[in-house]
Chains A and B, each alone.
Chain A
Amino acid sequence: METRLRFALLLTSFFVVWVYGATPIPNKQLLGIDPQDLSFYKSNVIKCKDGSKKFAKELLNDEFCDCPDGTDEPGTSACPEGKFYCQNAGHTPIKIFSSRVNDGVCDCCDGSDEYNSNANCTNTCWEAGKVAREKLKKKIETFKEGLIIRKEEVEKANKAYAKDEADLAKLKSDEKVLKELVQKLREQKERIDKLEEEERLKKEKEEKSLREEEEKSKEQEIKADETQNFDTMDNHEQDGSTGNLDIAVESGNDNMVESKKASTQTAEQHVGEGHDDTLESSDGISQDGEISSYEVPKQDQDDSGSTEELSREELGRLVASRWTSEGADQTTDKIGNVEEDLMDQDSSVAHEHKGYTSETDDDREKDDDDDDNFEDDRDDEFEDDHSSSDASYIADEYEKPDPLDSIEVSSPTWLDKIQQTVQSVLQAFNFFKTPVNVSDATHIRKEYDDTSSKLSKMQSRISSLTEKLKRDFGKEKEFYFFYDQCFESKQNKYVYKICPFKQASQDEGYSNTRLGSWDNFEESYRVMVFNNGEKCWNGPDRSLKVRLRCGLKNEISDVDEPSRCEYTALMSTPALCLEDKLKELEKKLEQMNTRKPQGHHDEL
């Protein structure tokens, strides 16, 4: 013990002397001092670093705490706030808490912290250092490579950003033109509407008088006429019977369109429902039976004071569920059946969903491909890629209407074309001809619809671009391309989808749980924060923090939920491969290399 201690002391002082060639201070007193601090301890009366006191050199490392900040006991455990410096030759020097000194646990890889304890520490610095150096080297490589990618990306981002700004300006001016066109068309259209209305009223009057004289069979003919004449209204008039024609006429055009929509929807739902039914019956569970099985717990809840109607097991689950959120779902689980039914239902709904939204799925897959080929894409047609396909993917996935859909901002001629078309249509229409030329009227209406829909698309494009350009893309806009991208990571049964600047979700099959909406960057662009996700039972709203680190690809990993409904994830991205950090790492490696304990490492 005694000899080992002396040896350790000798060795420590040897290194210190060897590296810094300082004037020797008694060995024991040197313990735990950072070589950079040695000069501080040279004088015979030493100040506590916090300025609280002075102490004589003999009191340095004398196992009695004189300075509350630990200045006088760098090498012992006497001061709770002290720090012990381990040389760790062959590895990285570290400072450990004084509480670790001689506590029987080897904390320094050179074992220097256990100079007076029963612990038998072997020097593992060289082996550990080797591994650490290799790791560091690799990290540096990544940083170097990442830095190049980052530079390119920043350049592209800035270009794209500038282009967005230019586009926005152009869009805004185009919008003006288009607005005027729409205005003109609307005026025309309204005039036509008015004309037609007059004609129709006139005709109606005639019909009315006719009808008074004619029999029922004749009415059929009139109707046929109407149908011919009022092409655009056929849908509605077929719906209505002759008896309530008046009412139908009074309700305006807008309503008609709506009711048409609604009826289509009903039809679609109906189809879906039929699908659902088949699924169920194949499971052999009748719908009625299912519903009644829900009703029992429901009634129970209505009568919240009483749990007497519950089966023993339900009661057990109900009580358990107070402590657990999971249990709450299980409570509705009537001996397992209900839960299964729920699953069935979910899947049937999901099927139904798939039935008429296959487009979305296709797009999703497309995007997956994009992600996979991200690196390659970036190298050639990076810009194009992101201004089209990714954007459309987002349009389908989330509520934001696709701003780019059919408007090719880059094409200079589209607006001219529209202008020409509108002009020609307007000119072609003859207002003085009665009855109104049906085909001309249709033309005007169509042109009005088309153009105003183009305008609204353009406006939404403008607002989304404005929205986009408001975002903070980082100091060098290094996160610009994150705007139109989503990143996914599959962990067990969940797929985590993170769309920076937008939102993040946890998907399981077809059920999505919103983990949060974009909040901001934190810790100077090292963390992406998504807040206000779906509320947790008896818990907080879900949230997600994505910690960014340097990597060659944009990749999500290690999604975790350290606290209930508070998610964390790691994401590697070239955007975080920063030059300063690289220099720091290189310096660290250099230091590790220069501290090679030439041949001494195996002596301990």
Chain B
Amino acid sequence: MAPLTPLLLRYLVVILIPLFLFSSSASAWKKDEFRNCNQTPFCKCARTRTPHSLPRLIVSDLLISDGHLTAHLQPSLSSEDDVSAGDTPHPRPLVLRLSVYQDGILRLKIDEDYSAPSAPSKQRFEVPDVVLPDFEDRRLWLPRVSSTEDGSISSLYLSDGFEVVLRHDPFEIQVRRKRSNDPIISLNSHGLFEFEQLREKKEGEDWEERFRGHTDTRPHGPQSISFDVSFHGAEFVYGIPEHASTSLALRATRGPGVDHSEPYRLFNLDVFEYLHDSPFGLYGSIPFMLSHGLKGSAGFFWLNAAEMQIDVLAPGWDDSAAAGNDRIDTFWMSEAGIVDTFFFVGPGPKDVLQQYASVTGTLAMPQEFAIAYHQCRWNYRDEEDVATVDAGFDEHDIPYDVLWLDIEHTDGKRYFTWDRVLFPNPEEMQKKLAAKGRHMVTIVDPHIKRDDSYYVHKEATDKGYYVKDATGKDFDGWCWSGSSSYPDTLNPEVREWWAEKFSLKNYGGSTPSLYIWNDMNEPSVFNGPEISMPRDALHFGGVEHRELHNVYGLYFHMATADGLLKRGNGKDRPFVLSRAFFAGSQRHGAIWTGDNSADWDQLRSSVPMILTLGLTGISFSGADVGGFFGNPEPELLVRWYQLAAYYPFFRAHAHHDTKRREPWLFGERRTALIREAIHIRYSLLPYYYSLFRKASISGIPIMRPLWLEFPEDKKTFDNSEAFMIGEGILVQGIYEEGQKSVSVYLPGEQSWYNMRNGAAYSGGQTHKLEVFEDSIPSFQKAGSIVPRKYRFRRSTTQMANDPYTLVIALNSSLAAEGELYIDDGKSYDFEQGAYIHRRFVFSNGKLTSSTIHSASLREKKFSSSCTVERIILLGLPSGAKKAVIEPGNHETEIEPGPLTLRGGASSVALVIRKPNVRIADDWTIKVL
């Protein structure tokens, strides 16, 4: 037997190794792989600090210059401090600057004093390109600062009814209402402000940090910043994505009644099989928090792209007797960067969103196809597979607009290339889709394969366009493409070069109907610390990766979107989906919530996640339908489609180990249910497109928390299950298997019409409703008009000339109003006025259509021959038989009719038959 042993042993090893791997892969989230606060020195240290335990900060040298207020900020040097400080060098004062912008925005910047004699040679990183270029134009020139007689407090005008108060000793900023002096937001009220200034390394000091075998050299040493921010008059705070949670309102992470919890972490990470409810950071970061309560809303944004940790503190955390008052304290910590913060006064929640949007921008208006249904899978294997899936949609009469190709379409994960065995004729493949009005999306990730025969790598290497490691060599990390490097898109020149790669000439096999998907741009580095790039990697201008980590994905997204814009000579609106994001990503394209899993909890958490993205500017977002990992039970898949049909970004996606789940693979009944769900989205596209337009102007999201529409209805503040689409539609998700009934709270005073059967429900009440297999509860608000199209096609392209249906839900005074926005769905001509924007008002038994087009801006025109084929009236007392259309004095019939054109639909409303008025025209229709 003896000679057998080595062989056997080797077999055992061969068998065991994969076994170990499998078992470790099977367990979900790798908690150990990511640093918690205690393993992160700056966080651990800041978090254990108690209020007012630091030396007091004192404001001095106030000055109005260039319309800003500037001052110095310095720790107090009381006599005892002098003694205890001993050999610590005298700290340099910090430079503080306050600026005021239109519409009630305060900007506070605090940085090192680089003009001081002992100033550091390294400049701290200030995030460029996030604040809109025209934001400075909206700055109010501060003429003066008024101070109290004793000089202890200075105040500034902020906007009508609001002012900024700067307390000098100890330093505190407060934004408050003028007359009442009610504070809204304050900073450093608990004296937790700490700014670690850059300094020389002391003898024998070790600045390195180690984590799981990775060493961060930290050549510039500690440089973290932390401070407390209080939201007064707030009942809840929201925002600071991205975290998976079943709660829209942020839960407290520290203080009485809170079990041990991590702070909310903002650090863009590629997290494998993330949990559905955890404060750990995911793929993107937006350090913007909103507060809301009956007294109003406010917002706070810290423009800082380094790792951030934020505590939401439970009342009484500071042992203050004031526990329980309507104030929410928060504690913000960042590893590096500067203090560059924005205070938004509201007072309404939509005001806060608009104020935030005026800083970071609104979403880029997408093409119409992009807001329809997307079909994705890792991977549609080859051209035949693509053709089969495409044909499957036609065979089952299910519309879709975009077919996606994941990483396997490339030649060895070299982006911009094709596996020519699987995809020998990519142009032809795209043209075939385009012939049916459909588009294709391919994936382009930032990890560039280190292969000398790969032109992208060669160019990037030759030009020195890669991110460098701490020693100055091209950073080499491991990702899908194996050994890889990452373009340094912080550098505008690199972005320009990257953008060129998307031209039809450079990207072989691409056609004008091809759009792009950026994945892994956190960036994901499989063998890096926390599956990302080492913090001491170096970017353009000597910026350390730690300083800009959270904004790397945005730059990559930006460069890609620029590429598509250039490809179309600035005429074709880009579509780029990105996983990583930062404040301002909405200007570059859509975002999705990454690699979720096929379970009910993740279906549930998708709603608060998408709502949070919407509140923080990213209106165009969605979650993978069905869940990326795992196989959804058919019931879950159907429910997911029914919910996702309302997501702003509606895409099905699946991991390559999952079973196929194209809509028709689960039996006829379920195919019909999924078709119906997708049809709901397509029927609502005119409404959605109008909402996208609105979001692109105002920053008000498409999918909204209830409290955004009903800010005074307390019952809505903590509702994470239902949401509004625009102002007119309320949707309640079904998040449990086999659920038979659901309680739906319908806010406001007006009633709501169930979109399934037209039944009216009164507002301000919770209704217990039966749950049906064929839809999730959705309601149209009385008083709203929703434009729809009830003709279903292969894709949006064929719907362009189809007639409209207007669904009018009358309120108690038999009135309603709504809007419709139309343009060519593709180009930027709308910027020159080539669009139709209608307002519909129903009152006194008459529907009026009028334009809300600003007449001055009409360099280009958009015309449409579309008509209105049907007007559905909900809540009109029966008896109306005819309607008269003006101009033309033309009569048409009114008859009972259904809400939807489905077999078995019964007459639940009155329908004006074929008014056939043109959508672009002014007209009135009087109900007789």
* Chain A residues at the B interface, C-beta cutoff of 8 Å: 50, 52, 62-65, 68-69, 77-81, 97, 99-100, 103-105, 266, 269-270, 273-274, 276, 287, 290-291, 294-295, 297-298, 301-302, 304-310, 312-325, 328-329, 331-332, 342, 345, 536-540, 562-564, 566
B212 contacts partner chain A, Cβ-Cβ < 8 Å: yes
Query: Is B212 within 8 A of A307, CB to CB?
Result: yes
**Distance, CA A382 to CA B212, complexed state (A):** 69
Q: Which of B9, B22, B26, B527 contacts A312 (CB 8 A)?
A: B527
The A-contacting residues of B in range 382-438, CB under 8 angstroms, are 385, 397, 399, 435-437
Q: Which of B479, B658, B679, B913 contacts A320 (CB 8 A)?
A: B479
Query: Is B3 within 8 A of A537, CB to CB?
Result: no
Quick one: given A273-B4, A297-B17, A305-B32, are A50 and B903 in contact (CB under 8 Å)?
A: yes
Q: How far is the CB of A216 from chain B (nearest CB, A)?
A: 32
Known: A99-B397, A104-B798. 4 other contacts (CB 8 A): A99-B794, A103-B793, A316-B526, A319-B527
Q: Which of A270, A312, A314, A564 contacts B658 (CB 8 A)?
A: A564
Query: Is A331 within 8 A of B21, CB to CB?
Result: yes
Q: How far is the CB of B401 from chain A (nearest CB, A)?
A: 14
Quick one: given A105-B436, A301-B21, are A69 and B212 in contact (CB under 8 Å)?
A: no
Instruction: Determine the chain A residues whose CB is within 8 A of the CB of B1 once the complex forms.
Output: 266
**Distance, CA A417 to CA B229, complexed state (A):** 104
Query: Is B902 within 8 A of A291, CB to CB?
Result: no
Instruction: Determine the chain A residues whose CB is within 8 A of the CB of B802 once the complex forms.
Output: 77
Instruction: Determine the chain B residues whose CB is within 8 A of the CB of A319 once the complex forms.
Output: 272, 478, 526-527, 531
Query: Is B4 within 8 A of A316, CB to CB?
Result: no
Instruction: Determine the chain A residues whose CB is within 8 A of the CB of B14 once the complex forms.
Output: 294, 332, 342, 345
Query: Is B10 within 8 A of A345, CB to CB?
Result: yes
**Distance, CA A309 to CA B660, complexed state (A):** 38
Q: Which of A68, A290, A291, A315 contacts B903 (CB 8 A)?
A: A68
Residue ID in chain B nearest A305 by CB atoms:
B32
**Distance, CA A100 to CA B795, complexed state (A):** 11
Quick one: given A80-B791, A99-B794, A298-B17, are A563 and B659 in contact (CB under 8 Å)?
A: yes
Query: Is A80 within 8 A of B18, CB to CB?
Result: no
Query: Is A298 within 8 A of B869, CB to CB?
Result: no
Q: How far is the CB of A49 from chain B (nearest CB, A)?
A: 10
Q: How far is the CB of B806 from chain A (nearest CB, A)?
A: 14
**Distance, CA A323 to CA B26, complexed state (A):** 10
Query: Is A105 within 8 A of B794, CB to CB?
Result: yes
Among B272, B527, B793, find the residue whose CB has the most chain A CB atoms closer than 10 A.
B527
Q: Which of A65, A301, A308 contacts B17 (CB 8 A)?
A: A301
**Distance, CA A307 to CA B526, complexed state (A):** 12
Query: Is B655 within 8 A of A323, CB to CB?
Result: yes
Query: Is B870 within 8 A of A312, CB to CB?
Result: no
Residue ID in chain A nearest B210 by CB atoms:
A308
Q: How far is the CB of A544 from chain B (nearest CB, A)?
A: 14
**Distance, CA A104 to CA B796, complexed state (A):** 12
Residue ID in chain B nearest A315 by CB atoms:
B527
Binary CB contact string for chain B from 300 to 322 against chain A (1 if under 8 A, 0 otherwise): 00000000000000000000000
Q: List 23 A-B pairs, Cβ < 8 Å.
A: A50-B904, A64-B870, A68-B901, A68-B904, A80-B902, A99-B399, A100-B794, A104-B798, A105-B436, A269-B3, A295-B13, A313-B478, A313-B527, A316-B479, A318-B526, A319-B526, A329-B18, A331-B21, A342-B14, A538-B22, A538-B26, A540-B631, A562-B385
Query: Is B10 within 8 A of A294, CB to CB?
Result: yes
**Distance, CA A345 to CA B6, complexed state (A):** 12
**Distance, CA A324 to CA B901, complexed state (A):** 44
Give 3 nearest A-B pairs by CB, closest first. Answer: A316-B478, A308-B213, A301-B20
Q: How far is the CB of A61 from chain B (nearest CB, A)?
A: 13
Q: How far is the CB of A323 from chain B (nearest CB, A)?
A: 7
Quick one: given A291-B13, A320-B480, A331-B21, are A80 and B660 in contact (CB under 8 Å)?
A: no
Quick one: given A104-B798, A312-B527, A316-B526, are A328 and B21 in contact (CB under 8 Å)?
A: yes
Query: Is B791 within 8 A of A77, CB to CB?
Result: yes
Residue ID in chain A nearest B905 by CB atoms:
A68
Instruction: Determine the chain A residues whose CB is within 8 A of the CB of B790 once the complex forms.
Output: 65, 80
Query: Is B3 within 8 A of A103, CB to CB?
Result: no
Instruction: Determine the chain B residues whose CB is within 8 A of the CB of A331 once the complex forms.
Output: 17, 21
Instruction: Determine the chain B residues whose CB is within 8 A of the CB of A80 once the complex forms.
Output: 679, 790-792, 901-902
Q: How far is the CB of A532 from chain B (nearest CB, A)?
A: 16
The A-contacting residues of B in range 635-666, CB under 8 angstroms, are 655-660
**Distance, CA A308 to CA B32, complexed state (A):** 12
Query: Is A325 within 8 A of B478, CB to CB?
Result: no
B739 contacts partner chain A, Cβ-Cβ < 8 Å: no
Query: Is A276 within 8 A of B901, CB to CB?
Result: no
**Distance, CA A68 to CA B906, complexed state (A):** 9
Quick one: given A291-B9, A298-B16, are A308 and B212 in contact (CB under 8 Å)?
A: yes
Binary CB contact string for chain B from 16 to 40 against chain A (1 if under 8 A, 0 otherwise): 1110111011100000100000000
Q: How far is the CB of B320 from chain A (nearest CB, A)?
A: 40
Query: Is A322 within 8 A of B272, CB to CB?
Result: yes
Among A297, A314, A316, A538, find the residue whose CB has the most chain B CB atoms closer than 10 A.
A316
B882 contacts partner chain A, Cβ-Cβ < 8 Å: no
Query: Is A103 within 8 A of B213, CB to CB?
Result: no
Q: How far is the CB of A480 from chain B (nearest CB, A)?
A: 33
**Distance, CA A269 to CA B13, complexed state (A):** 20
Quick one: given A63-B869, A99-B791, A99-B793, are A539 and B212 in contact (CB under 8 Å)?
A: no
Query: Is A78 within 8 A of B869, CB to CB?
Result: yes
B7 contacts partner chain A, Cβ-Cβ < 8 Å: yes
Query: Is B657 within 8 A of A321, CB to CB?
Result: no
B255 contacts partner chain A, Cβ-Cβ < 8 Å: no
The A-contacting residues of B in range 270-288, CB under 8 angstroms, are 272-273
Query: Is A321 within 8 A of B478, CB to CB?
Result: no
Residue ID in chain B nearest A262 by CB atoms:
B1
Q: How far is the CB of B28 from chain A (nearest CB, A)?
A: 10
B223 contacts partner chain A, Cβ-Cβ < 8 Å: no
Instruction: Determine the chain B residues whose CB is within 8 A of the CB of A50 once the complex forms.
Output: 903-904
Instruction: Determine the chain B residues whose CB is within 8 A of the CB of A538 once the complex forms.
Output: 22, 25-26, 657
**Distance, CA A387 to CA B803, complexed state (A):** 71
Instruction: Determine the chain B residues whose CB is within 8 A of the CB of A318 once the complex forms.
Output: 21, 526
Query: Is B657 within 8 A of A536, CB to CB?
Result: yes
B614 contacts partner chain A, Cβ-Cβ < 8 Å: no
Instruction: Determine the chain A residues whose CB is within 8 A of the CB of B51 once the complex forms.
Output: none
Residue ID in chain A nearest B397 by CB atoms:
A97
Query: Is B10 within 8 A of A290, CB to CB?
Result: yes
Residue ID in chain A nearest B659 by CB atoms:
A563
B361 contacts partner chain A, Cβ-Cβ < 8 Å: no
B750 contacts partner chain A, Cβ-Cβ < 8 Å: no
**Distance, CA A73 to CA B822, complexed state (A):** 27
Query: Is B659 within 8 A of A320, CB to CB?
Result: no
Query: Is B656 within 8 A of A332, CB to CB?
Result: no
Residue ID in chain A nearest B25 by CB atoms:
A322
**Distance, CA A409 to CA B437, complexed state (A):** 69
Query: Is A328 within 8 A of B22, CB to CB?
Result: yes
**Distance, CA A564 to CA B903, complexed state (A):** 37
Query: Is A306 within 8 A of B25, CB to CB?
Result: no
Instruction: Determine the chain B residues whose CB is within 8 A of the CB of A342 once the complex forms.
Output: 14
Binary CB contact string for chain B from 492 to 534 against chain A (1 if under 8 A, 0 otherwise): 0000000000000000000000000000000001110001000
B851 contacts partner chain A, Cβ-Cβ < 8 Å: no
The A-contacting residues of B in range 170-217, CB under 8 angstroms, are 212-213
Query: Is B3 within 8 A of A273, CB to CB?
Result: yes
Query: Is A562 within 8 A of B903, CB to CB?
Result: no
Q: How far is the CB of A120 from chain B (nearest CB, A)?
A: 13
Q: How far is the CB of B178 from chain A (nearest CB, A)?
A: 55
Among B21, B272, B385, B660, find the residue whose CB has the most chain A CB atoms closer than 10 A.
B21
**Distance, CA A332 to CA B22, complexed state (A):** 12
**Distance, CA A321 to CA B479, complexed state (A):** 10
Instruction: Determine the chain A residues whose CB is within 8 A of the CB of B480 once the complex forms.
Output: 320
B477 contacts partner chain A, Cβ-Cβ < 8 Å: yes
**Distance, CA A383 to CA B874, complexed state (A):** 76
The A-contacting residues of B in range 786-811, CB under 8 angstroms, are 790-794, 797-798, 802-803
The A-contacting residues of B in range 328-359, CB under 8 angstroms, are none
Q: Which of B4, B479, B657, B898 contacts A539 (CB 8 A)?
A: B657
